[in-house]
Structure 1
Amino acid sequence: MRHTTSTTTIAAALAALLLAACSDNDSQPAAGDTPPVQSLPQLGAATGASMAGCADLAAKLTYPDTTISAVNAIAAGTVSVGGKPVPAHCQVLGEMLRRTGTVDGKSYAIGFEMRLPLNWNGRFFYQANGGVDGSVVSALGPVGGGGPLDNALNQGFAVISSDAGHGAPTPFFGIDPQARLDYGYQAVGKLTPMAKAVIKAAYGKAPDRSYIGGCSNGGRHTMVAAARYADQYDGFLVGDPGFRLPLAAIANIAGAKTYAALASTPGDLGTGFTQAERALVSNAVLGKCDALDGAADGLVQDTKACQAAFDINRDVPTCAGARDGTCLTTAQKSGIAALFAGAKTESGKQIYTSFPWDAGLATNGWASWKFSSPIDRDAGAVGLIWQVPPEDPATFDGRSFVLNGSLDTMLAKINATNGIYTENALSFMTPPNPSNLAALKNRGAKMLVYHGTSDPIFSSDDTTSWYEALRTANGGDAANFARFFRVPGMNHCSGGPATDQFDMLTPLVAWVEKGQAPDTVAAAARGSGNAGGANADLPANWSASRTRPLCAYPKVARYKGSGSVDDAANFSCQ
């Protein structure tokens, strides 16, 4: 039976669970002969400041190669999040490094927006945006998850957002070699000192603590910053990171080829694996894996155990006749299983990584990434932003590129360089050495990472492998400076049959500035009436206000054996 709970009650419950989740320990318990956890520097807490208003701010803001186009006073309540009005602040609009492209002759600049609260908490937040960037979106500062009830600006942070060096959310900027580099990593490096200078001019002091965060490509930006700009930030909030984005995009193109070959309607990729068939597989996964955590509740908490428990060939019926949504053909099983195991090129080279079997395959969001994005997004990114040389933008056809192109050729070209494009895609798009975060660690900075286990474009397996490598590089335990939280059932950054509403920024600040390392993070479902917006993917038999603890890897949430399965209090991280 569904029931609703007031937003105030939900927020209070989440706050109580979050406070209970934070501890003063800076590592998970060691096992066996694991060496003692290294003692790291403890960074101090930020102290706030205020400014009278926005009227005279423009005259104070000067920085080399930077133009401030507007400073606007934004009254309290003009912006709201989760039904809460954001306090009064100043909006600063501008751009850096206006130039003309050396190859395409087009005009480029790094556009940005900053929002500076009149009552400032002493902290700076760099909002790393998603997709191919290209738009200066509102600088609010995401805290993580879907349907947020809060943001960094509302909490008193000064926040910046940017277009990462090109003025449209299309891939054509990839013809310009400098625009590629700005998108990959240099925009963050250029904007960060400028933003800190603006903050100092506005409040009379630089930020005491600086944070950077985002999801998807924003998660990638943040992981790259952790490797390249560890001296500039104290806290890194990484969501569903596409930190090997070019490889993930080619793997998704490989998926499109498979689904096109399986399609019952030529040209319609979605008919290669229909919604009914995806629900069939999701339900089969639940049938084998749902109760592995002690509760049959529609969530696969023990992702690792599930991969051993589920077998698509054994656990999904094979069609004896026509496809009708109650079975998969032998060809479907073979093709889909190969994609989940990790897509390969025509010559058999592994492109990216595996995807975990999970319960979130039947959603519209999953379908969009698998069946529409290869042509609408991945083709342009691979062909125009990452390949060397790029395709001709005047004649580029994304559908033909995907369905007729060679995966081996794509893979070779994103690894190539020439006299114009001197850094290849895997150089400018990925962290230089993802498992070496010594600079971040040794100065007392912290990182929180989350990833939905039903993410259809960037696999949580990839992030899990990265975190395992990080643990290995740090004597078997990286928990004293970086923690990873898998979000069961969540699709890409939000949605899916999941408790996808959570705040990762608050525990990150508590860890950075107070030494309170989070073992769990409170998460809630977004049912009807949720102030952050309802999640259309929630199963009908879930409570609208279901809660769960998200557990620091490698622990998983397990049912205690009694009480409502909609209440986080009845689960523990083990």
Structure 2
Amino acid sequence: MKRFLIVLATGAALAAVNLPMAAAEPSHGSASGASGASGCSAPAVRAPAGTEVESVTALRQEGGTIHGTGVIGGTVDGVPAFCEVTATLTHPGDGDHAKVRTWLPVSGWNGRFQALGGSAFAAGDNGVGMGTAVKNGYAAATTDGGLADVVDVGWALNAAGEVDAGLLKNLASRSQHEAAVVGKQVVAAHFGEQASYSYFNGCSTGGRQGYMEAQRYPDDFDGILANAPAVSWDEFEVATLWPQVVMNNEKTYPSACEFKAFTDAAVAACDPLDGARDNLVNDASRCDFDPRRLIGTKVVCDGKELTVTAADAAVVRKIWDGPRTASGRRLWSGVPVGADLSGLAGTTTDTNGRAKGVPFRVPQLWATTWLKKQPSFDVSTITYDQFTRLFEQSRAEYGGVIGTDDPDLSAFRDSGGKLLTWHGQADQFIPAQGTVEYRRQVERKMGGTQRVDDFYRLFLAPGAIHCGLNKGVGTIDDLAALTAWVERGKAPRTLSATLVDATGRSVDRDVCRYPEVSRYRGHGDPAAASGFRCVLPSRH
């Protein structure tokens, strides 16, 4: 069996993962094969439905080190030479200009096509994922959707201060589909044959795009790898403002150090639930640690001794519990126990030494730009009642556009597609329970766990942060598992992973398929995968 070094990245840090590939790889794009394989020319591109092709260009790139653009950045080394084909599309009447980039390895094409998803408000990859795919023999494609970088949303409102519906639609659904259509055309024209298999690969926004592909364009891909997916976007984006709303309304702003004290205490209390002290919460939904247990505890932060107050504990309790209406109706799940609370509950002190909140930019921009339609709106003024109204407004205005939570995946199932997802149980930006709830909806719609497992599998990774197993904070064998499922019918029972526990130590673990959770066997090294097995939880 051949093994290739794959570097998966959606952030500034990278993780090297040895991914097994099929022993018999087809030979594609050799010098004796299609004439386009060793050249680099702009092919004719047929416009996808509803679009016009403005231009198609081609440029040979010598590879080497690819530096990711924008805020996320990152690098990938050892990228071989490739042909870059850029097709610019427009939607008549919308005035947009969406670029679809396709990278074609000059040699060593493995016969596969891989499309790369975006991050936050960026529709596509910044170059690191593309370089990684080409390095491992894939022809790869992505799209900018006519948009900008991850938190550059100057495109969102038009000159009249109204939401640009066309560009939002690009982000929500159509540009990723068009990248699949155009990318496959370019591959076929360049190599003289269609790709043997087509895959999608994304995390966060990219994960949501993967789910949208399965829901609306079920024939685009044979396999979809969609991790930490931002599904139910219209609801969870507002929900992730909740920690800031709580602190502002309670007038209490714990520091990152104080938040860490609560998290550490919860992990210590809930760690033994799997039968071993391995510094991982293997089933965060069962952890019911009460933050009031820390009231009166001394915490040393920046050399100062602080005492945890009842107000601090009340804030943490509300953040873990998640957003509710004034009558107590739950709107969404909270930050999971074990996750870094300062991700969404960021705080700082102003020049006068007064504490204040620092909201995470993505939900802040969603509220100010798409909901209030006032980019300068101060989210610190949002009351509990106003929060509920914003939540309902977002659901009403955008659920059908970018909700991405249609549980009917029958067309994707019938097309033979496979959907694979892992989500970190310590995800500090997108609570994993949202993905769990979507999976439950699919099960209710499509006949239960066993039938859904035939084409869609979810894995919950203990201790893993947002997209962290693709960012150097641990590793996971996800793309190899998907290709084995698609190409050899080998459905993954577990995903081999190296996780990082609460102390920063690396531990090997087989991540369990939902709804199973990891349990210690009662003997063996808690840092070794062999010490654990996957079992059904007492409740889920």
TM range (shorter): 0.7 to 0.9
2:238/2:366 contact within 8 Å kept? no
Q: CA deviation at 1:486?
A: 0.8
Residue 486 of structure 1 is aligned with which of 446, 460, 465?
460
2:295 is aligned to 317
1:111/1:167 contact within 8 Å kept? no
1:3-14 aligned within 5 A? none
C-alpha separation in 1, matches of 2:62 and 2:502 = 36
C-alpha separation in 1, matches of 2:518 and 2:388 = 41
C-alpha separation in 2, matches of 1:320 and 1:492 = 30
2:503 is aligned to 539
2:516 is aligned to 555
1:276/1:326 contact within 8 Å kept? no
1:436 equivalenced with 2:425 (yes/no): no
1:221 equivalenced with 2:209 (yes/no): yes
Kindly, what percent of the aligned residue pairs are identical? 24
1:46/1:209 contact within 8 Å kept? no
Q: CA deviation at 1:556?
A: 1.9
1:291-370 aligned within 5 A? 291-307=272-288, 310-313=289-292, 315-318=293-296, 328-345=308-325, 350-358=330-338, 360-361=339-340, 365=343
1:278 is aligned to 259
Q: Structure 1 pair 350/304, CA: closer, same or farther in 2 (3 Å)? A: closer
1:507 equivalenced with 2:481 (yes/no): yes
- What letter is aligned with 2:531? N
Q: CA deviation at 1:493?
A: 1.2
Q: What's the RMSD between the two structures over aligned residues?
A: 3.7
2:184 is aligned to 196
2:90 is aligned to 97
2:88/2:98 contact within 8 Å kept? yes
What secondary structure is seen at the aligned counterpart in 2 of 1:448? strand
Structure showing the higher strand proportion among its residues: 2
1:468 equivalenced with 2:440 (yes/no): yes
C-alpha separation in 1, matches of 2:187 and 2:17 = 32
Cα deviation digits, residues 268-323 of structure 1 (max 9, x gap): xxxx122232222122212321112122121011333324xx2333x433579999
C-alpha separation in 1, matches of 2:125 and 2:453 = 34
2:353 is aligned to none
Cα deviation digits, residues 126-157 of structure 1 (max 9, x gap): 11111101676116359xxxxxxxx4332222
What secondary structure is seen at the aligned counterpart in 2 of 1:108? coil
C-alpha separation in 2, matches of 1:514 and 1:373 = 48
What secondary structure is seen at the aligned counterpart in 2 of 1:120? coil
1:235/1:445 contact within 8 Å kept? yes
Q: Structure 1 pair 278/369, CA: closer, same or farther in 2 (3 Å)? A: closer
2:75/2:128 contact within 8 Å kept? no
C-alpha separation in 2, matches of 1:303 and 1:432 = 23
Q: Structure 1 pair 474/280, CA: closer, same or farther in 2 (3 Å)? A: same
Give the TM-score of the pair, scaled to structure 2.
0.79
Deviates more, 1:168-177 or 1:48-57: 48-57
1:397 is aligned to 377
- What letter is aligned with 2:503? P
Give the TM-score of the pair, scaled to structure 1.
0.75
2:137 is aligned to 156
1:220/1:430 contact within 8 Å kept? no
C-alpha separation in 2, matches of 1:191 and 1:549 = 34
Q: Structure 1 pair 279/354, CA: closer, same or farther in 2 (3 Å)? A: closer
C-alpha separation in 1, matches of 2:424 and 2:200 = 20
1:172 equivalenced with 2:154 (yes/no): yes
Deviates more, 1:245-254 or 1:190-199: 245-254
Deviates more, 1:332-341 or 1:456-465: 332-341
Q: CA deviation at 1:553?
A: 1.3
1:249 equivalenced with 2:222 (yes/no): no
- RCO greater where, 1 or 2, for CA within 8 Å and sep 6 or more? 1
C-alpha separation in 2, matches of 1:515 and 1:55 = 33
Q: CA deviation at 1:60?
A: 2.5
1:49 is aligned to 28
1:445 is aligned to 417
Cα deviation digits, residues 363-386 of structure 1 (max 9, x gap): x6565599977363323223323x
Q: Structure 1 pair 258/523, CA: closer, same or farther in 2 (3 Å)? A: same
Q: CA deviation at 1:505?
A: 0.9
What secondary structure is seen at the aligned counterpart in 2 of 1:522? strand
2:352 is aligned to none
- What letter is aligned with 2:515? P
| Alignment size in residue pairs | 488
Residue 111 of structure 2 is aligned with which of 108, 122, 131?
122
1:254/1:344 contact within 8 Å kept? no
